[in-house]
Amino acid sequence: LPPALDSTSEPPPIFDGTTRLYISYTCPYAQRVWITRNSKGLQDKIKLVPIDLKNRPDWYKEKVYPPNKVPSLEHNNEVKGESLDLIKYIDSHFEGPSLFPNDPAKKEFAEELFSYTDAFSKAVISA
């Protein structure tokens, strides 16, 4: 695994055509997007860029993702955030096995589970 970048680290060459997933190894929201990347077999297509959240680099907020949180995804000269949105984005914009069912009723149920998962994760973290 690559070392986490901190306040002393130089930024990667941002918007050079490389797709990058900015994460923290300890962030559960980032981990679920990281799992999505790996489940779809995209380790060679989406580069992992870990960030040290306790000593995060200034360039991350200034040049990559102004909300200054992880995960974020740099793709097609844009940066997107929010883990559940990124899971859906990666699933629909990259090859690999689909993570969502095709059946509309099952897809609706999957969306419901997603919203519950987010609420559950927030409750666990706040406890």
Per residue in 16-36, pLDDT (tens digit) is 999 999 999 999 999 999 999
Q: Are 55 and 103 in contact (CB under 8 A)?
A: no
Q: Which residue has the higher pLDDT, 27 or 122?
A: 27
- Determine contact, residues 10/58, Cβ cutoff 8 Å: no
Per-residue pLDDT tens digits for 41-100 = 999 999 999 999 999 999 999 999 999 999 999 999 999 999 999 999 999 999 999 998
Determine the residue type at 61: K
Q: Find all residues with CB under 8 Å of 28, minimum gap 6, and list them.
A: 121, 125
Return the residue matching tokens 């099952």.
106
Co-location of 59 and 107 in the same domain: no
Domain that holds residue 36: 1-96
Question: What pLDDT, on the 0 to 100 scale, is given for residue 127?
Answer: 82
Residue 32 makes CB contacts below 8 A (sequence gap 6+) with 83, 87
Residue 20 and residue 68 share a domain: yes
Q: Does residue 86 sit in the same domain as residue 44?
A: yes
Asked if 116 and 63 sit in the same domain, the reply is no
**Predicted pLDDT of residue 24:** 97
Instruction: Spell out a b/e string for 61-98, using b for 16 or more CB atoms within 10 Å of the CB, else e.
Output: eeebbeeebbbbbbbeeebebbbbebbbbbbeebeeee
Quote the number of domains for the chain. 2
Residues 69 and 107 in one domain: no
Q: What is the mean pLDDT of the chain?
A: 94
Please check whether residues 63 and 106 belong to one and the same domain: no
Quick one: pLDDT at residue 96? 94
Q: How confident is the model at residue 3 (pLDDT cuts 50, 70, 90)?
A: very high
| 83 and 36 co-located in one domain | yes
pLDDT exceeds 80 at position 121: no
Q: 102: number of CA atoms within 13 Å, CB side?
A: 2
Instruction: Based on the fold, state whether residues 89 and 108 are members of the same structural domain.
Output: no
Q: Is the pTM of this model over 0.85?
A: yes
**Predicted pLDDT of residue 86:** 97
Q: Is 61 helix (H, G, I), strand (E, B) or coil?
A: helix
